[in-house]
Amino acid sequence: MDYCEGGHVNDYQYFIKNGISTMEISSKLGELYSEMIFTHGYVHCDPHPGNILVRKTPKNGIEVSLLDHGLYTVSRRLNLRTCSLAAFSLTLSISLY
């Protein structure tokens, strides 16, 4: 078990105080969950704000830490269906513009 420092993902005052961009947090969370689900086939079962910490890194980036890993494996078949649904949704949203 590791000790993780940072502010909870819903602590806007922490972000302001530490110069952390909410757009960067949103981007990192999207990348994190997309890779976790679509690449590795895992889902974090308890992703409430108390289990997601954000901190500024020494090189002025940000680091997102997931706590309380209630992970389970998504079946390959479900994973492929989820990817297909995501691709369809993206295609549909692009065609609407």
Q: Give the pLDDT means over successive 10-residue stretches in the chain (97 positions).
A: 88 95 91 82 80 90 85 64 69 59
pLDDT for the residue 10: 95
Amino acid at 97: Y
Pairing of strands 52-56, 62-66: antiparallel
Any domain includes 85:
yes
pLDDT, position 33? 85
The answer to the question of residue 2 being in a domain is: no
33: domain range? 7-95
Comparing CA positions, the residue from 84, 81, 70 lying closest to residue 42 is: 70
Asked if residue 32 belongs to a domain, the reply is yes
Does residue 31 form part of some domain? yes
Q: How many separate domains does the chain show?
A: 1
Q: Does 1 reside within a domain?
A: no
Q: Which residue from 6, 18, 2, 19 is spatially nearest to 54, judged by alpha carbons?
A: 6
**pTM listed for this prediction:** 0.70
Q: What is the pLDDT of residue 46?
A: 78
CB 4 within 8 A of CB 67: yes
Task: Please give the positions annotated as active site.
Answer: 46
What per-residue confidence (pLDDT) applies to 96?
A: 53
Cα 40 to Cα 73: distance, rounded to the nearest angstrom: 9
pLDDT value, residue 53: 94
